[in-house]
């Protein structure tokens, strides 16, 4: 077993952060979680779970107190394509404050390593106009033309991490997530990602009925199961790689195929009704994992079908429970 560390996970009330805390605890580390909210579906496994507003420097200094060795900064105001295209000002302001204050507080409180969670939204939009997209290499973020709001603030925070290493020799790591999904993730309310949103729609649909899909469904993405994401985060933190690194699968799929896979898992035949006015983001996006393999000697290996077989039943159970609660029925 590796030496026990004192680790802070911000965003520990959220999806990836909650899974990361559980994994770090299994490895024997002392873990503090910090977020503006508690985990929604399970009690946190953290030794300390603190409700803090990380937009405030005072709260960031509080979160990083007490000889913390490593910080996984996953806290962010974010959501699915509908949310991030409708809230540019709020998202940009909130995340710039979180990222700048967390980075500075970590440095000032003597943290040894700081990992920043960036996003594939930083990539140049001109390289993502074809559903048969060429997989994105890390250098494809420049010349800069990221997605408005969320993409721009992530790209700037990456630069800020580099400045803290250059100016202060503060060890930072930068990961670019590509569409993470799995159980215990948001599945309704507007902040859910495509796999969760479609799983919810399929769970609610009667066999033989129709479900609404944003766009023509031919837009392409790759999706990474949360266990692979957590494994990659831990490996990157332990590495000596300071430049931005993709973390995703390179299994490209259309949204239409995503619907088909989930429908097969559910045992339903459904008709797709395409809403061409709904937000759909870039036309195509995939992760080039060449540098990931070279750097970590590893890459995500859980297939989309395998991950959805674990994700769909959880979302179906949540939707069923929600329906029972609305009907005033005790589901226990």
Which positions are catalytic? 150
CB count within 10 Å of CB 151 equals: 24
The tokens for 119 are: 């996003």
Counted residue by residue, the chain has a size of 332
Three-class HEC string of 21-82 = HHHHHHCCCEEEEEECCCCCCCCCCCCEEEECCCCCHHHHHHHCCCCCCEEEECCCCCCCHH
Going by C-alpha positions, the residue among 184, 177, 179 that lies closest to residue 310 is 184
Cβ–Cβ under 8 Å, residues 84 and 152? no
Question: What residue has token string 């009690």?
Answer: 43
Cis ω for the linkage preceding 251 (within 30 of 0): no
Q: Which residues, listed in sequence order, are joined to residue 136 by a DSSP beta bridge?
A: 287
Question: Which 8-state DSSP code applies to residue 19?
Answer: H
The tokens for 201 are: 């729609």
């Amino acid at each position: 077993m590796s030496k026990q560390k004192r680790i802070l996970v911000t965003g520990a009330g959220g999806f990836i952060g909650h899974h990361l805390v559980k994994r770090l605890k299994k490895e024997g580390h002392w873990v503090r979680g910090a977020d503006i909210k508690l985990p929604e579906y399970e009690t946190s496994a953290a030794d300390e779970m603190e409700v803090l507003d990380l937009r405030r420097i005072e709260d960031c200094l509080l979160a990083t107190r007490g000889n913390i060795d490593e910080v996984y900064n996953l806290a962010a105001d974010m959501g699915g394509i509908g949310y991030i295209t409708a809230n540019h000002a709020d998202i940009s302001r909130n995340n710039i404050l979180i990222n700048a204050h967390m980075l500075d507080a970590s440095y000032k409180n003597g943290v040894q390593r700081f990992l920043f969670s960036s996003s594939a939204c930083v990539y140049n939009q001109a390289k993502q106009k074809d559903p048969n997209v060429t997989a994105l290499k890390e250098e494809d973020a420049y010349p800069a033309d990221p997605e408005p709001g969320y993409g721009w603030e992530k790209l700037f925070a990456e630069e800020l991490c580099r400045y803290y290493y250059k100016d202060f020799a503060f060890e930072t790591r930068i990961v670019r997530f590509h569409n993470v999904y799995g159980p215990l993730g948001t599945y309704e309310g507007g902040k859910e990602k495509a796999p969760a949103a479609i799983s919810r729609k399929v769970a609610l649909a009667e066999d033989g009925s129709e479900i609404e899909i944003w766009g023509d469904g031919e837009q392409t993405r790759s999706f990474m199961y949360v266990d692979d994401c957590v494994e990659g985060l831990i490996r990157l933190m332990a590495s000596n790689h300071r430049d931005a690194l993709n973390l995703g699968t390179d299994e490209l799929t259309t949204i239409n195929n995503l619907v088909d896979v989930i429908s097969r898992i559910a045992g339903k035949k459904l008709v797709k009704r395409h809403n061409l006015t709904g937000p759909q983001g870039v036309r195509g996006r995939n992760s080039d994992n060449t540098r990931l393999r070279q750097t970590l000697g590893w890459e995500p290996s859980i297939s989309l079908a395998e991950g959805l077989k674990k994700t769909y039943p959880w979302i179906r159970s949540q939707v069923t429970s929600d329906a029972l609660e609305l009907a005033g029925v005790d589901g226990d």
